[in-house]
Chain A
Amino acid sequence: MKKFTKLGAASALSLIIGASAAFAENIKIAFIDPLSGPFASTGTNGSHQFEFAADYMVNQKGGVLGGTNFEVVSFDNKMSPKESLIQLQVAIDQGIRYVVQGNSSGVANAITEAVEKHNKRNPDSRVLFLNYAAVDPALTNDKCNFWHFRFDANADIKMDALTDVMAQDETMKKVYIIGQDYSFGKAVAASAVENLSAKRPDVEIVGNELHPIGKVKDFTPYSRKIVASGADAIITGNWGADMLGLGKSVIENGFDGPIYTYYAAGSGMTAAFGESAKGRVRLISQGGINPIATEEARATYKAFKEKYPDGNIDQSRIFNVIGMLKTAIEAAGTADDVVAVANELEGMEYDSMWGGKLFMRPQDHQLIQDMNVGVHTDENIEFDYDNSGYGVLTESTVEMAAMDSPTTCKMKRP
């Protein structure tokens, strides 16, 4: 009986894994992010943006290397490092050489280590890891490797730019820092303290605390503390439900200063904030949407909205990933030799349609780009989020942020 079950299971395995080996001519990109479970909304939106970008920027414009198409294959990692590694192995076996992932630095860390080991142990099926959103600074510092490229600014760079803007606010005297209790939240807090004390020694940090990630049902007690501390501004790296919960709660409980954030837009959050957060929530990001930088970007956004009326381009860097990968593959003349493609990506300069120049720093594979600080509002918004009428309006820009920031990365090249 047991043997039969095993045989049945095994034939199912071979059927399913073998089934997708038929289209070898496309250049396939594995998208490994949560598509089910509590974090599915960001993953699904990201996968739509990747599929759209590959189709719109590459396939509809004649493909790469004289007509080869990009194909984005989505894998559901259920936000679990274990599942991510299994899906990574399946992707590699399907002949996929490019892996993109972004949600959760914990998963990114698992993937970058697995990719490094895999490339060392299997030199004939090497893969590149294009990280589009995991911002833990360690990934391009102590834990950097040749196969990992980060297209988002890391938490330190973002905080550097954010505090540049904050420092101009003369009325700000007291700042409260709050974040989720894990590597990213801690990195944000440490970076905020360091930057603020260097740029504005007169500003007092009246609170610096961490709360459990994804477990807080009610942020009221935290809001009370923030209000009681007399803070003029809040800095937080929260995302998802933790961001929305914190933001709504502090506003509701009488806080009236600005809230400086990393991830307070899109995925239903902008709609849920609505009127209450107008002019209050500010966020740091690359690639401004309002005002839009180029006509090309406007056309792209409109085409996207036509295809996904309920979607947002809230991660415009995804288009940079596809664009830069396309350029690198063209320059290398091959998509199979990932070392050649990686060498082209290293040090690449690229003009983004979302404005500004991009530079892939060769020392640590960190993309250097313009950083914008925007505000949540409904005025002068051409492209809103969540069809709510509200969107993010760029207020100030830091050009080529942290171009010569130090890195501890010691890149080992093959």
Chain B
Amino acid sequence: MTDQITTDPSRPAERMRAGSLSLTVGPWIIAALALLVMPFIFTSNSALTIMNQMWITVIFALAYNMLLGQGGMLSFGHAVYMGLGGFFCMHLMNYIEDYGLAFPLPLLPLFGGLFGMGFAMLIGSFSTSGAGTRFAMISLGVGELIAACSVIIVAFFGGEEGISGDRTYGLPFFGVEFLKQIEVYYLISFWLMLSALLMYLFSRTPVGRMANAVRDNPERAQFLGYSARWVRFYSFCASGFFCGIAGGLFAISYEILTEENLNAASSGVILLVTFLGGVGFFFGPIIGAIAFTLLQTVLGLQTELWAIYVGALFLATVMFFPGGLAGLMMMHVPAYKLGKAGGLVVPYIKTLVPAAIGILGICALIEMIFHYRHGATGDTEMTLFWTTFDSHSILPWIIAAAVALFGIGIARATAPAMKEAWDEANTPGGAS
């Protein structure tokens, strides 16, 4: 495995786009406005909690993508940097409470970031000398070590039950004591905007640009006089810093940190999140984090089988859209620029709507099999898509199977037309 881990070695042109989004102010203002307005649309505390979780994951995923997407470094133990930053913040929070220090809570994540960066410097000093398997395996080893330590070293990590604190003992910040979820929401949103902007700007600095170069061809970068190792090291430390900020926000939002924040499962999840969103684009991880949090938390409320669907979604994404959700969106940019995107709408509806219905039909069948096998004796009623029916009678099975076959059948029949429309929309020239 001597070659670099990149998103798509066969298509260098597309990879280049990672750093070449034009610096326009528009998207940032829209994003900031959206963050401001969201709590007025969704006022419930649970919606706020879920959105807090989303934005924290967004920061973490963006920081992770500084390595994976921009630097070509695959880390299997990145939860450690976020977790350590969070643990440090929690200790700081308790210290403030115990000694009654005048310390404004909104500054806390900064210290989490510095701690995360400090640890990243320590590990990066020996792990960044290579990018491929070596870096990946060292990150795996370090991740496992820290996760194991979290149960053994009780003084710092608090063992199985973790450490907890109370965010309301800090110095009131302009009269805000962070008693309410909404106050925490705006704090997290502020840090989200700030971190995202800083990370974006980092990708435009010479170091950020060189990270791309080192990812694609380390030898050439070396010939240009840049040390590939130092470029990786800087990216790694910067990523550690933003992970630490996410950890600090986690400490504020949940007021508890446990072994879960450090273990391999969390490290794996962030890799999946980032990839689902798309590593080739700056905004990919944002989409991935939002989609994954919704899948995990909201789909998890609906069905015990959520993990099956998530697993299947990942397989489908990686097999058919290796650019992730962001890649899928950006595929449409050429058509849009040619002014032909409108021609795609009708073929899309003709194919994708039946396909979606067909997939829902398959999901219904899966849920019915599950209910049939694992439901209680006598408990034959089940509710699916707001309809209650008897899972032991034949009719619902026929309907679900028919819907699935019909949906997929139509989608298959209309797929060639969609392909044609796609090719047409991407061909420059006169409108036909």
Contacts and interface: CB of A to CB of B under 8 A. Distances in A.
Whether both chains belong to one complex is answered with yes
A114 B307 CA distance: 27
Contacts of B159: 182-183
20 contacts: A2-B27, A2-B31, A2-B283, A2-B286, A3-B30, A5-B291, A13-B294, A36-B300, A76-B306, A81-B258, A82-B254, A86-B53, A106-B160, A106-B162, A109-B161, A136-B161, A182-B151, A182-B160, A212-B151, A213-B151
A14 B180 contact: no
Contacts of A104: 160
A308 B376 CA distance: 5
A93 interface: yes
B392 to A, nearest CB: 14
Contacts of A81: 162, 254, 256, 258, 260
Residue of A10, A12, A114 with most partner-chain B CB within 10 A? A10
A216 interface: no
Interface in B265-295: 283, 286-287, 290-291, 294
B49 A17 contact: no
A232 interface: no
B427 interface: no
A357 interface: no
B45 A212 contact: no
Interface in B344-397: 376-379
Nearest to A184: B160
Interface string B96-111: 0000000000000000
B331 interface: no
Residue of B160, B300, B376 with most partner-chain A CB within 10 A? B160
Nearest to A113: B164
A93 B45 contact: yes
Contact of B47 (A14, A52, A121): A14
B424 interface: no
Q: What size tier do the contact residues of chain B reach?
A: 35 or more
A1 interface: yes
Interface in A99-114: 104-106, 109-110, 113-114
A17 B50 CA distance: 11
Contacts of A13: 42, 47, 50, 294, 298
B391 to A, nearest CB: 15
Contacts of B31: 2-3
Contact of A1 (B47, B50, B164, B329): B329
Given A13-B294, A86-B49, A183 B160 contact: yes
Interface in B133-154: 148, 151-152
Interface string A256-278: 00000000000000000000000
Contacts of B297: 83, 86-87
Interface of B: 27, 30-31, 34, 38, 41-42, 44-47, 49-50, 53-54, 148, 151-152, 159-162, 164, 166, 179-180, 250, 254-256, 258-261, 283, 286-287, 290-291, 294, 296-298, 300-302, 304-307, 329, 376-379
Interface string A104-133: 111001100110010001000000000000
A281 interface: no
Interface of A: 1-3, 5-6, 9-10, 12-14, 16-17, 35-37, 40, 44, 48, 52, 75-76, 78, 80-83, 85-87, 89-90, 92-93, 104-106, 109-110, 113-114, 117, 121, 136, 181-184, 212-213, 306-309
B161 A6 contact: no
Given A12-B294, A182-B151, A307-B379, A85 B304 contact: no
Given A9-B290, A9-B294, 7 more contacts: A6-B38, A9-B54, A16-B301, A105-B160, A110-B161, A212-B151, A307-B377
Contacts of A113: 164, 255-256
A181 B147 CA distance: 13
B74 to A, nearest CB: 24
By DSSP majority rule, is chain B's interface helix, strand, loop, or mixed? helix
B287 A2 contact: yes
Contact of B45 (A6, A10, A92, A309): A92
B34 A3 contact: yes
Contacts of A307: 376-379
A106 B159 CA distance: 9
Contacts of A80: 260
Contacts of A309: 377
B258 A110 contact: yes
A184 B301 CA distance: 29
Contacts of A306: 377-378
Contacts of A44: 304
Nearest to B298: A16
Contacts of B179: 121
Nearest to B287: A5
B366 to A, nearest CB: 14
Residue of B164, B250, B379 with most partner-chain A CB within 10 A? B164
Contacts of B377: 306-309
A90 B47 CA distance: 8
B254 A85 contact: yes
B222 to A, nearest CB: 37
Contacts of B256: 81, 85, 110, 113-114
A408 B369 CA distance: 51
A104 B41 CA distance: 36
A17 B45 contact: no
A93 B44 contact: yes
